Structure 1
Amino acid sequence: MQKRLIILCYRKIIDIRSVKQWDKLVFESTYLEFKMQAQNFSQGTAYTSYAELLRNVPNAQRLTGMVAPSVTGYIQQLGSIMPDILNNIGRRFLAFSKFQLEIINSDINDKDKHQVAVNFYSEPLFWHDTIDNYLLISAQQAENQLNVENNCISTNLMQLQPYINITSLQYHN
């Protein structure tokens, strides 16, 4: 039987309505950094929104990269485990190997319009089966540590939910 190796992406959207403490910290940090960095692009113009800057100011797409360092400390607090994603027994388990910040919307003069997404990309996982709306998965390194005595590996059962996507699929023999 061919093994399926997948990478999952969880897109966590953060805005003014976010209620979790970590989300609020990321919101405040990215908004403050956006305001500071956007001034470099908006100076001498009437443009205050992220969309206007992207449409009208050369190199404004660099803003996302300029804001991203403001979240690295908060990302490190997660200990390489994705927030919000739980296995079937309620534990955070899904390790991520990289993240990407995305500015969805913002405005220098209106904090309420600020919205970002943090895209978390999992480490490679073996996808063993789909049971109803659950994925049965195991970490790639768990496969290498197969318990020879009883021929088993550690798995997690994870419910499919909004903002989770399989970003890559690779078949192995």
Structure 2
Amino acid sequence: MKKHLLSFALFLGLVAAAAEPSFAARAISGQEQRQDDHDKDHRKGQRAAHDPQKRLDAMAKELDLSSKQKDKVARIFQEQQQQMQALRGQSGQDRSQHKAQAQSIRQSTDKKLKDVLSKKQYAQFEAKRQERMRQMGNRPGGKQRGGFERRDTGSRS
């Protein structure tokens, strides 16, 4: 009788061991599928955020831009995009030079936008920008790219 119980226990152990990898593989496959779905949704959201036409249309709606303003803003953003792409294509610059030039391009774009938008529209634009910056800072994983928080470099007493 003990032999039969031992054989039955061994048999159950083998069946369980054979089923375990299959179960684990299905569980991992399900996790991978959920991650793939999440990644697709995330990339879709990023594409929408980086689509210049969608960005312009949303801005035109939020700020109630005239068609003339919308055309001018489109040209300003297109010029900024070209300048930034050219800057990215440059090699041999150190990081501080690159950041300074990018900042200069952004400041130039802001000045042009100020000339095209009314004071009220520009204030709304700036408020929306600040809100986006706040949201980016509140994302899980960190305050800036790479997940690192900016440290206060002010004097301490």
The higher-RCO structure (CA 8 Å, 6+ apart) is 1
Structure whose CA Rg is larger: 2
Which structure is higher in helix share?
Answer: 2
TM-score (norm 2): 0.30
